[in-house]
Amino acid sequence: MTLPSPTPLVPGDSEDVDSLASLLRGRRTVVLTGAGCSTESGIPDYRGPGTRARARNPIQHREFLQRPEVRARYWARSLLGWPRFSSARPNAAHQALAELERAGHVPGLITQNVDRLHHAAGSSRVIELHGALERVRCLDCGGNEARAVLQERLLALNPDFNHQVLELRPDGDAELSSEALQSFRVPACERCGGTLKPDVVFFGDNVPAPTVADAFSLLEAGDALLVVGSSLAIYSGYRFLTRAAERHLPIAILNLGECRGVELADLRIEASAGDVLPRLAQALVRG
């Protein structure tokens, strides 16, 4: 299976890029990234221009914990979606942010993404607010398992499960017809037989307090905030915008489509991260 076509680039005006470089030059810029940073790698988002019009039903934390049929639905869809999700590669935006970090302009990243593409691009300090899909955790004994290993167990338990993927989803799973779930078998923890969950924060769950503290500590060490590819619709990301505003830090937002809190920003650019960020790196690192 292959990933869907990456989102086409939407170029930013040269004046916008120049203004962004002027705002951030000489400042240690903390970067907050969302799904819009990865759409150009072929991973869809929930609220971008290409997905906003279509209904989305993300997995809810409480339902996953309480209902076996919800867990079966998630893992069945994940079985089909994982090969495509895990084959995604960093795009120009991820590469540019890693370059800015290496050059000392970015002390670290706070990301809402679960794809680990920042790590793959070479960024070293990445705070993952919502965890990472490459890990699976047992809710009973706390044991961990690599998602790639679990994929083999899913395939072994369901050798005849071969259904058409209707649509890749941001959670790394895929849309799937309900009749396809009739006989799907869900693997248990190999250590204790407990319930397995992807090591991510589902909708309705809370970001772990130590993770939030680390993210705020990083923001406190910065001189500016750059939001990339996030609508800031959920509080887990929006709180960093409001904290930056309280500290009177320069704020820039680079995002396609609607974005919460734009009135707090000094600069808003509606263009592709994969177009603007390499030009920003050119101006700050090599300019």
113 is annotated as contributing to ligand binding: yes
| 116, two tokens | 């680990």
Residues 165 and 176: their CA atoms lie apart, in Å, by: 6
Task: Check 61, 119, 130, 163 and give the catalytic one.
Answer: 130
Q: Is 192 annotated as a binding residue?
A: yes
Q: How many CB atoms lie within 10 A of CB 49?
A: 15
Whether 36 has a binding-site annotation, put simply, is no
Is 256 part of any known ligand binding site?
yes
- DSSP assignment of 226-264: EEES----SHHHHHHHHHHHHTT--EEEE-SS--TTGGG
Asked about 130 being catalytic, the answer comes back as yes
Amino acid type, 9:
L
DSSP 182-240: TT------TTTS--EEEEE--BTS---HHHHHHHHHHHHT-SEEEEES----SHHHHHH
Q: Is 123 within any annotated ligand binding site?
A: no
Tell me if 114 is assigned to a ligand binding site: yes
Query: Binding residue per annotation — 255?
Result: yes
Residue type for position 207: V
Q: Which 3 state secondary structure label does DSSP give 46? A: coil
Cα distance between residue 238 and residue 216, in whole Å: 12
Q: Is 259 annotated as a binding residue?
A: no
Does 115 carry a binding-site annotation? Answer: yes
Burial label, 6 (beta-carbon count in 10 A; 0-12, 13-18, 19+)? middle
Q: How many residues does the chain have?
A: 287
189 assigned binding-site residue: yes
Q: Does 14 carry a binding-site annotation? A: no
Which residues are annotated as part of the binding site? 112-115, 138, 141, 189, 192, 229-231, 255-257, 273
Task: Output the known binding site for Zn(2+).
Answer: 138, 141, 189, 192
Active site residues: 130
Feature table: binding site for NAD(+): 112-115, 229-231, 255-257, 273
